[in-house]
Amino acid sequence: MVSIVDYGAGNLRSVINAVVKLGYQPKLAVTAEDVLEAGALILPGVGAAAHTMHSLKRLGLDSAISRYIAEGRPFLGICIGLQVLFSSTEEGGGHDCLGIVPGVVKRLPDNLKIPHMGWNQVKQKIEHPIFNGVPDGANFYFVHSYYVEPDDRALVAGETEYGITICSVLIRDNLVATQFHPEKSGEAGLKIYDNFIRMAQQDKP
Amino acid sequence: MLTKRIIPCLDVKDGRVVKGKSFINLRDAGDPVALAKTYYEEGADELVFLDITATPEGRDTMVGVVERISQEVFMPLTVGGGLRKIDDMRRMLLAGADKISINTAAVLNPGLIREGADRFGSQCIVVAIDARRVKGDSQLRWQVYTHSGQKPSDLDAIEWAKEAVALGAGELLLTSMDADGHRAGYDNELNRAISEAVGVPVIASGGAGIPEDLYQALVSGRADAVLAASIFHYEEYSIDNIKSYLERRGIPIRR
């Protein structure tokens, strides 16, 4: 069962539309129980990480998501859904995040147009089923002002150039997270969702 | 490398796409959902919908249109036109829009930019600026117009662009009223002046007639994206024609 965390994220509708387009009937995870019952969990996100953290805490979803991921279950984080996995973010003067992935979230250098907005290439650093049918260097749609820096560089599965090299796909076991928005990235983006859901289905005992 | 975006614009009135010369003499050019799907399949990078219906019934129609488009089209969608309140913005975002474009409402109430950015994030808030050259002035400058270009405001376009960004706009959609509808090229002095004055992406709009015009807006105008309507709607040039042309001229383009 595919579940999408509903904490009021701005891109919730688009993520639902993408999953439905692929022929699945996603469930909305609004409580901690919903999160823990998921077979495949998607955490959407757009906007500010601090706002997302606040919403997740208020709804009691933060510890459920941490537990779900700690159990090694299939998880896909999108944009802010990637950033909140980290220890902390520089955004809004500094905020603690979920602390699931050691590392920090930093602001893009000021000499660039911010946000990094538009289609940019993702260089695949590892072979992984999430990239099945997605050409190396395919374009995805980005819109963000902060980027993640995991302490463990081996987690960087995809990289993108925007003045600096940023981690655009992070993978640790069954945890996959993208800085770009696959639900806004045409056929290549739909493929990412499809691959993730297939991975989750194969993961079933 | 970040690619330059090619953005078709669909003016929608009562659920139908229309586009006119210099904002008047509208001509019907089709069903928004079908057009959006065509552009998506042809490789447009993003779509902008301007709802030029000013009535509440028209607004409801537009929400339905956005809902249907977002189920079929998996690329960024910006919606603008007559959105004056946070609740109007929220409705469009919930329907599947990614960004909200505000123009007159932002000039009349600049606090709306900050409120929208705080609420939905800067990346959601596009401030659209309609600017016209001030004639007879020794220094080159542009005046901001509101109400679909009908009313002059006392704002200078460059100063207003800076203020909008300071308030939280994540992107600017800049239309030259002098060039719009004439298909003789963008006002690239305007595009460049604004693009260099702000740190957010600028979409150039108004005046595209041939692919060279889009090239010039990206190069001379230093725009991050180009928006056009009639050049695409009447099938004189496909998205693919234009992208191939820009690619040959060395512009980074998504293929």
Q: Please tell me the least confidently modeled range out of A64-78, A136-150, B28-42.
A: B28-42
3-state helix, strand, coil in chain A (%, to 5): 35, 35, 35
Contacts with B254 from chain A: Cβ below 8 Å: 119, 139
Q: How far is C-alpha A35 from the geometric centre of its chain's CA atoms?
A: 16
Interface residue of A22, A55, A117, A159 to substitute, partner B, most B CBs within 10 Å? A117
Which of A79, A95, A144, A167 is catalytic? The answer is A79
DSSP states of A72-121 as a string?
A: T--EEEETHHHHTTEEEE-GGG-EE---SEEEEEEEPPTTS-SSEEEEEE
Q: How many CA atoms lie within 13 A of A201 on its CB side?
A: 9
Average pLDDT over residues A87-102: 93
Decide if A183 is catalytic.
yes
**Inter-chain CB proximity A186 and B4 less than 8 Å:** no
Q: How far is C-alpha B173 from the geometric centre of its chain's CA atoms?
A: 5
Hey, which residues does A160 pair with through a beta bridge?
A166
Decide if A181 is catalytic.
yes
**Inter-chain CB proximity B123 and A46 less than 8 Å:** yes
**Inter-chain CB proximity A14 and B121 less than 8 Å:** no
Helices assigned H by DSSP within B14-110: 32-42, 56-72, 86-95, 104-108
Residue B230 reports pLDDT greater than 70: yes
- At A152-204, the pLDDT tens digits run 999 999 999 999 999 999 999 999 999 999 999 999 999 999 999 999 998 76
The pair phi, psi for residue B44, each rounded to 5°, is -60, 150
> What percent of chain B has a predicted confidence (pLDDT) above 70?
94
Contacts with A11 from chain B: Cβ below 8 Å: 98
Distance from B198 to chain A by nearest Cα, in Å? 8
Per-residue buried b or exposed e for A34-44, using 16+ beta carbons within 10 Å of the residue's own CB: bbbebebbbbb
Decide if A71 is catalytic.
no
Encoded tokens for B160: 């207003």
Task: Please tell me if residue A24 touches chain B, with a CB cutoff of 8 Å.
Answer: no
Average pLDDT over residues A95-118: 96
Residue of B nearest to A145 (CA): B123
How many beta-carbon pairs below 8 A join chains A and B?
Answer: 98
> Under DSSP, is residue B34 helix (H, G, I), strand (E, B) or coil?
helix
ipTM for the whole complex = 0.93
CA B26 to CA B247: how far, in whole Å? 32
- pLDDT, residue B181, reads 84
Q: How far is C-alpha B68 from the geometric centre of its chain's CA atoms?
A: 21
- At B66-99, the pLDDT tens digits run 999 999 999 999 999 989 999 999 999 999 999 9
Residue B21 reports pLDDT greater than 60: no
Contacts of B74 (CB under 8 A, 6+ apart): A14, A17, A18, A21, A183, A184, A185, A186, A187, A189, A190, B40
Average pLDDT, chain B: 91
A129 prior amide bond cis, ω within 30: no
| Cβ contact B205:B160 at 8 Å | no
Identify the structural domains of chain B with CATH numbers, from first to last. 5-248 (3.20.20.70)
- At B156-213, the pLDDT tens digits run 999 999 999 999 999 999 999 999 888 899 999 999 999 999 999 999 999 999 999 9
Q: Please tell me the least confidently modeled range out of B7-11, B27-31, B102-106, B194-198.
A: B27-31
Average pLDDT over residues B113-142: 93
Sign of CA dihedral B255, A132, A189, A44: negative
Residue B24 reports pLDDT greater than 70: no
Distance from B65 to chain A by nearest Cα, in Å? 14
Task: Please tell me if residue A191 touches chain B, with a CB cutoff of 8 Å.
Answer: no
Contacts with A187 from chain B: Cβ below 8 Å: 74
Identify the structural domains of chain A with CATH numbers, from first to last. 2-203 (3.40.50.880)
